Chain A
């Protein structure tokens, strides 16, 4: 058997018989994205920028705005911290454990993705609010907001970590054990580094989601300024009070946070893809061809 690997292929383009198709498709995509997403965002940015720095600064430094932004960032950070632990634990149980109804639980994780946020808030209010009957009442409290954010951000870390955990080569953990590492050490030094990019990706997405959340917090928080008013609700309030400039200014702050998060996730995804491609290459070399169908020849 020759030891030489297959010819390395630099990026190449297959000959395409219809050159018109890519042009049409590309043009339509750019046009659509611009009209739907880019144009409105540009208009918003331009409105704030053209309003001048003075007006921007006053809108952003007004105490209620500051309180809203600070509260949003603080609670989002808390929520994300809890998500990392709960999400990783959940992913671990879904991948490594086995019990009756596991598939049902796995499906359940996606519920916050499928459920409208207003309904999420309503359900939490129903059980953990004034007439919940459990004795717990988190309506109009920060705890209530945290609960709502935990609900809507639940799937993010779970779903990003789950596939990576599933693909993790158990042999690495076995090797660590054979070298004397205990369960916790193995987890800390072998598993966590492998799932770290996925975790970060999930954290970033969860954070962005929490910062911008509106539907689930608007009912449960009661939107008390300086107490439970989140940035998105503050913006909404400013608009209703006929202060679109103030709303736009704070929106720009959120927009910047979103963009930064987006770039972080994109960078992480590129790193994960590169890592996956390397693993895939190694796996392809090792793998024997698919086992033959029963009764078949070669």
Chain B
């Protein structure tokens, strides 16, 4: 039975249950909390790990484990998905509950938000009912202080009967106390004097009826009072988990079944239906939260969230909500374009400047000509292109994007766009995963876990590639700057570029919606499922941290990927350009092979080949295009980025080519990392292939139609 259940219940998140203790001094802490209460920040402040943080519900969808040492103990924190409750109405809640109940943790740490304590107490009370060793961390106390919300932590602790620690994890305030509390709770043996929720009389009666037989069944592994309630409530998911983790099927246990029947009969006599019972259980906990919150929280200023409301009134308003959103996107893009211009120039001058010097160096140590060609013209140049053209926009866009995320703007985007997604029969949270895609499509695909309905999650995964990731932005920016900036002069130039790029992105969003709708009408038929979206309070972003982290992380990441992918690609291109068959280089030969088809969709053979070679990482597509042209031409010595236009034009580029390259860059197969992630997330080759084909076919079709329409109309 157990085996059967496990094999029919594929859980993506099961990996986290494998936590190994190396010694008895290793203590496992289940790390729980509502979404968006700064869980990741507390996690980082305890472990020193750098988890990406953001201000929106559902940020942590992968489960991180982190360690730290305190005195004789090593603490292993297992970061559970953020949930509002443990009632398991979603996959994440089920995982969190199962880990807390059956996951062998020594204690549970619950992170709560000081600015919204009442709401958080629901999860706290549920957890305290489920397990014995609990520490409550009230985070974001600085935000609460700013809003003049006062919390009496001592009273809270005595009411709950568990330790309560106030923290502001962003400044590491309270982290030390938290470590002490965790150390104490895992090392002391006496039972805590935790709060007991008293339900209405009839409920208490039935708990009494079955608690003793349940206790016999599970001994001390799970809280018997809580489990009794769940069993009376007929919570199928907990009954399954009992079989899965403890190997006991309650329906096969005669004494449980007979007591359960008596309890059911009693409830029927009292005219309490299963729905009534469930309502009453949830209400009891909520009322308790309200009661506690009234006692410990005081508001000196009743208008404490007026600021948030006023901001929301503007940025989600009927008239200007969407224009403001596009404007903000435009500002981010403009800053990226304008800001990247100068560093790009400087980097290009420097990197191509020392190219000659490096060549001389290789010559001076008698490097054979072919080898120095391979290293300088092949490997070094490709790397230099990636660094000069790709790195600056990435290094600017990413922190700006993270800033908006940190502020809490992304849920507002989801709020603004929800109706469009609903009309496309997709999930409202797809707007969030789409936004994540701007950073990296692979991250966006993982992010789709926040969508519960499998149908809507697949739609979100398949369409995620329609927004350009950080690796494709620079290609778009470079082409726009090279080809279309000439329309205007001076400062207007970057404005024109921004406008065009914004249009490209809006096309991407429109395509996301259109394809989502198309999928829901064809292979993924269905209606939109219910969803609720929390609009969290705005938070002061951690600007310094964002800049340091994203520039450092991004720079190192991009450089690493450039080394790993661009260098071999440069090597291949150079070799292909220099190996000749019948006086035609292998490169020209291959490009010639792709050329007829590529021409049909407005590209050329070199461009299409670059997209294929760029499969491992989109960052290298544009550098490869340039490299191929340079290798086949007179081996341009490039001193200035403005010469790029000449190279492209002399290789037959027109504005039509530029537009088709941009469209194809926006709509083509996801990169290798993303494909691999899709395979992992969907556990299905079929959906991976579909995710590969959908954007590719759409992109090719659109380019084909556009290119040929322009040609037929004689516009070019």
Partners in one complex: no
Chain B residues at the A interface, C-beta cutoff of 8 Å? none
Interface residues of A (CB under 8 A from B): none
